[in-house]
Amino acid sequence: MRNILLNRITAYALVGLLMIIGESPVFAADTKQEKIVVLALGDSLTAGFGVDTEENFPSRLQVKIDHAGLAYKVVNAGVSGDTTAGGLRRINWLMKHKPQIVILALGANDGLRGLSTDEMRSNLETMIRISQEHGARVLLAGMKALPNYGEDYILKFESVYPELAKKYDLAYLPFLLEGVAGVREYTRPDGLHPTGSGYKIIADLVWQHLQPMLKKE
């Protein structure tokens, strides 16, 4: 009789233990869906020089994405002072994020420094090809050159973006700073970097081109 009772107690204990284990989150399957990465590859205009983190355009895009109920995560890969050569040096390492979309917004510092437009074109083209080889679609953001280096340089510089967009059939934003550049209330005292309100305009502009590339999962 005693053995029967012990066996029953042991059985009840095992059942109770199995119920606890079954309800434990430690053993539960992880059903949370990993978010798709949108990689914003750029310079200080992407990093958000001079503004709080939540004010830069990648952060504002994340808010728009969340409000739309989309399963995407924006990774800000902006580095202040970066050129297209710098972006090219970083892009293979950045592919660890496995982005499905790359917002390529580089070239402003090439233009400021009067760097070779042929090298800029080559750098951008290589970054586009690397992104596509990793399965990412590219949204190319164009830039404009300052008049410092003459009209010939401006024409060569600004032709790079639409030509690459056409060659690789990219989503294309002609000018990242459209409506912001040269407007005092939207730029910092240096006349180059956006204020928080300027970044709001940029985020709205980028969103117009990015949103059609996103899909509900």
What are the catalytic residues?
44, 190, 193
SS3 content of the chain, % helix, strand, coil (to 5): 55, 15, 30
Q: How far is CA 154 from CA 65, 146, 149, 159, in A?
A: 35, 7, 7, 8
The distance of Cα 110 from the centroid of its chain, to the nearest Å, equals 20
Q: How far is CA 119 from CA 13, 84, 195, in A?
A: 72, 9, 30
Neighbour count for residue 12 (Cβ, 10 Å) = 10
Measured CA to CA, the distance from residue 187 to residue 194 in angstroms comes to 4
C-beta of residue 140 within 8 angstroms of C-beta of residue 165:
yes
